[in-house]
A and B are shown apart, each in its own frame.
Chain A
């Protein structure tokens, strides 16, 4: 019982930590609609300088655009609310959509560092038996790890190295298998057992950062799936393979 409580607390703390790690990226995503809005406000003021030459349609169009930006802003904040607070859980999740949602939050961290994202997701995947937000936490955990491993390798290597995260998803007999492969520092080989601890951190090139699969593994196991870290025996990179029951 005590063990279970501790696990639950650790999971919540790890999720919170994950949320913290994506904050800067989310702020950037929020700044996008704000940038459009503030520029449009300036545009409106410029139009006001020449009222005789301004058509009502143009004003209406700018108004529509600003409204859409506000909706876009709201979608992000609502998404965050779902990640941060209790909610009604769904019993099924769309893998492709969940991956897409993740990159709406952390895509900026990849763009800022020029990390390529390669998606090879089958179009006709069945829904998987897991809550969609929980699945998002699984992906966020693994995607963030990939980003950190790539950053660490970049910081340590003098030669230019590939920066890529590949996500594959395909259907098997009774599951959807998702494979995430990065070209980062080969941590799976170095720390194969420690990665499962919620408190495991890595110190590399003057930085210490959390690097573990605790959140992903915990959630996946609870829904009857599996998570396996595949060893890359040569060179760089890590692969996480998820089996999600359908």
Chain B
């Protein structure tokens, strides 16, 4: 048993579902008063008596206030009366199907965490469930540790909903409109990807799966553009059958939506990842107000600097670029973006180096020229500016060493000596 599954000692109490005679014997030294449970009220709906019993005694012992229903009608009646915060719902039921129960619960409460209990081979149902706004899934058979993890994340979602003061009324925001209270999303894509939404910071590897992270990167590279479902499935799920590919895609889209908006109850209401006929569009809203993205800052500053010639803007942009765009992600569709950004970065560095040279800030010029060479060791103008700036400071030896480095790089990469023009600089 892992540490998560350890019993919270103080909330341990008698399983409510047990018969009175067993209650007496079940746990010795049990106090008469019911210890106040910190766990939310939970309703379990399953038509199998034994499963209801096993679930409820384990979860009751763990501190949950468990109520049980055997079918859909029971479940809806109990939901009205007891208002459980979490509902574990078997997708299959003898009377009303799980989807109808889910829809009815959703009409009454947007915040209730409805978790479907599914069996193997329910892929088709999973898609429908995601569309219908289910909160999570739980496969059968499930171990208690895994079950507790699922419940823990449901509780976290409830907690966040409570904090954000979400009303229990159905929230329906179909347009990419924002209220000032929307949690700001922060994205850093120079270097490894870091996404921050609300209080959660996701770094590379924190995603549910690497694939989901990759799908998000694809959306990010196409911000405000529609990415077709065909592209997503062909790119990320080309090794599986189309049905599984579809499931994978829906799961990823749903996961991304919930990462961006932890309080989202219905995927279609996502304000950031919009469903667009046959595809999806990532639209994070207005930059600065609704989201903060280092690459967008970089682009805007470069753009403005080109128009105004303002060197400060180049400096700000250059400072943001601490590594290549989406480092360690070598997909084709990242490369184009990465090359473009690196070119912008190099051009900005050269602008700054030249400007500092003209201003006789030789030290700064040399630093920017060196940054150019870090990115591209065959960049002739970079060597030229570096050599000129050290020569201007009277450092002949250093100039010779830079030329030597240049010689080595050209020799290794191209099999030729450093360009004549550079050698002429040092000799002179």
**A residues bordering B, Cβ < 8 Å?**
24, 27-28, 31-43, 45-47, 49-50, 52-55, 57-58, 61, 65, 68-69, 72, 108, 111-114, 116
Contact = CB atoms under 8 A, between A and B. Distances in A.
B26 A32 contact: no
28 contacts: A24-B120, A28-B120, A31-B140, A34-B140, A34-B141, A35-B142, A36-B51, A37-B54, A39-B54, A41-B144, A42-B143, A42-B145, A45-B1, A46-B5, A50-B9, A53-B28, A54-B28, A55-B26, A55-B27, A57-B22, A57-B26, A58-B27, A65-B53, A68-B50, A111-B92, A111-B93, A112-B119, A114-B93
B7 interface: yes
Interface in B90-147: 91-97, 99-100, 119-122, 125, 140-145, 147
B25 A57 contact: yes
Max chain A C-beta neighbours (<10 A), residue from B9, B28, B48, B92: B92
Nearest to B92: A111
A28 B119 contact: yes
A43 B62 CA distance: 9
Given A46-B5, A55-B27, A69 B50 contact: yes
Nearest to B52: A36
A24 B124 CA distance: 14
Contact of A43 (B6, B27, B57, B96): B57
Nearest to B49: A36
B61 interface: yes
A50 B144 contact: no
B120 A39 contact: no
A50 B7 contact: yes
Contacts of A28: 92, 119-120, 140
A151 to B, nearest CB: 11
B336 interface: no
Nearest to A53: B27
Contacts of B7: 46, 49-50
Nearest to B95: A116
Contacts of A41: 143-144
A111 B141 contact: no
Given A24-B121, A47-B61, A40 B54 contact: yes
A73 to B, nearest CB: 11
A116 B97 CA distance: 10
Interface size class of B (residues with CB under 8 A): 35 or more
A121 to B, nearest CB: 17
Contact of B22 (A33, A42, A49, A61): A61
B171 interface: no
Contact of B140 (A35, A50, A55): A35
Contacts of B94: 111
A43 B97 contact: no
Interface in B43-69: 47-48, 50-51, 53-55, 57-58, 61-62
Interface string B1-32: 10001110100100000000010011111100
A114 B27 contact: no
A27 B51 CA distance: 16
A27 B120 contact: yes
Pick the 10 closest A-B CB pairs, nearest first: A42-B144, A114-B97, A39-B54, A111-B92, A35-B141, A43-B58, A57-B25, A36-B54, A55-B25, A34-B141
Contacts of A114: 93, 96-97, 99-100
Interface string B139-159: 011111101000000000000
A27 B120 CA distance: 8
Contacts of A27: 119-121
A38 B26 contact: no
Nearest to B1: A45
A42 to B, nearest CB: 3
A203 to B, nearest CB: 18
A58 B17 CA distance: 13
Contacts of B100: 114
Nearest to A39: B54
Given A31-B120, A42-B143, A50-B7, A112 B96 contact: no
Given A42-B5, A61-B22, A53 B53 contact: no
Contacts of A53: 12, 27-30
A39 B22 contact: no
